[in-house]
Structure formats: structure tokens, C-alpha cells
């Protein structure tokens, strides 16, 4: 999952949005040094990533991509699922998407972050990344941004075309699995 989904899941489970955001930037066991609510958000973020990656494999979603693109297909899928979450937002959250995004930006902007997390947070808020996910065609630009940070082998245009070509199957995967993920996250937190 990408940023919007992680923030939505945090709101859905009444956990820290900042902790959910930090999940990509806290390495190894460094979460143990964080305040309890942030540590919980990081652990939930990791649980979500593991859960969805396994479901991608179970559903053979990487096989929907040409062989030359499969290596990075889960990155493209994570980004595309944020677009699908925008598309299906009213099904999963009672608050308007714009209001949720604004509140998320406010919480992230008030957080004390360092290093890459600070850099990405500032770019996310200033560039309105979450709002950008609302339009399918914007996904190609997002993928180009990812490609610019990769050493090689990430074909943004090819990835985007594969996502568009397989939209129906990916959307079906999302509408089936996202509610299951939300329930799983509640169970995960109950079991902690």
C-alpha cells in the first residue's frame, strides 16, 4: 500500500497517522525507541505491507505484468491501489476525501520528523501527493518519479500501461481485498 492507504488504515484503526507515515523510514528495530503510539503505527504499517504483498502473490497479480516489469510490479500496484482507494473512497470512509487529506496533511505537518521522512513529508504536503492520486493519468507521473529514484530497470511508461490494461482485474482485487485488510488490521491490533 502507498501513503493514502496507510493513512486511511491508521484513521480506520484509531492509530497514529504519523506512525503510519513513518513506517517506510524507520529501519530495523529502531521503532522500539519511539513513543508507544508511533511505534504501534510503524508496526501496523509493516503488517499491512506484508499482508498485501502476500495477497498480491496469492492472486498472482505480478503475472498480469509483462515479464520484464514483474520485478517492480508490487511497487506499481501499491501506488495504483491508492488511486483505487480515491475512486472508492465513499465506500470506506464517511468523511469527504478532500477533508481527510487536509486533516492528514495538518497532522503530518505538525509532526517532528528527521532525514528522509522530513523530506518526503514536505514534498507530499507541498505537492499534494494524496490529492494527485485521484486521477488515473497522474499515476504515470508518479511512476516516473519512482523510476527517477531507482538505479535502473523501472519502466514507468510500461508499468503505467500494464496497470491501465489490467485495470479491471486490479480493481476487482482491490474491492475484494481492501475490506479484508481493514478487518485484519483491527484483529492484528486486538491481538497485540
pLDDT given at position 28: 81
In degrees, rounded to 5, the angle at the alpha carbon of residue 113 between the alpha carbons of residues 112 and 119 is 135
| Contact criterion met (CB below 8 Å) for 175 and 92 | no
Is residue 101 pLDDT above 90, yes or no? Answer: yes
Report pTM: 0.93
Number of folded domains that form the chain = 1
DSSP 95: S
Give the whole-number percent of the chain exceeding pLDDT 90: 83
Average pLDDT over residues 139-146: 91
Buried b (16+ CB within 10 A) or exposed e, 100-110: bbeebbebbee
- C-alpha to C-alpha distances, 89 to 73, 99, 145, 179, 180, nearest whole angstrom: 24, 12, 24, 12, 16
Domain, as residue range, for 100: 3-191
Please give the Cα distance from 117 to 22 (Å, whole number). Answer: 7
Amino acid at each position: 500500500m502507498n501513503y493514502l492507504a496507510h493513512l486511511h488504515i491508521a484513521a480506520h484503526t484509531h492509530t497514529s497517522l504519523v506512525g503510519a507515515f513513518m513506517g517506510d523510514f524507520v529501519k530495523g528495530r529502531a521503532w522500539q525507541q519511539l513513543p508507544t503510539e508511533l511505534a504501534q503505527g510503524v508496526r501496523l504499517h509493516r503488517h499491512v505491507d506484508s499482508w498485501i504483498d502476500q495477497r498480491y502473490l496469492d492472486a498472482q497479480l505480478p503475472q498480469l505484468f509483462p515479464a520484464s516489469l514483474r520485478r517492480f510490479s508490487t511497487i506499481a500496484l501499491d501506488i495504483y491501489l491508492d488511486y483505487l482507494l480515491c475512486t472508492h473512497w465513499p465506500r470506506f470512509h464517511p468523511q469527504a476525501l478532500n477533508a481527510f487529506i487536509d486533516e492528514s496533511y495538518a497532522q503530518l505537518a505538525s509532526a517532528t520528523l528527521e532525514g528522509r521522512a522530513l523530506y518526503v513529508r514536505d514534498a507530499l504536503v507541498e505537492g499534494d501527493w494524496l490529492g494527485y492520486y485521484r486521477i488515473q493519468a497522474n499515476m504515470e507521473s508518479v511512476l516516473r518519479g519512482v523510476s527517477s529514484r531507482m538505479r535502473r530497470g523501472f519502466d514507468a511508461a510500461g508499468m503505467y500501461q500494464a496497470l491501465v490494461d489490467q485495470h479491471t482485474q486490479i480493481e476487482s482485487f482491490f474491492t475484494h481485498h481492501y475490506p479484508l485488510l481493514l478487518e485484519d488490521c483491527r484483529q492484528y491490533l486486538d491481538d497485540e
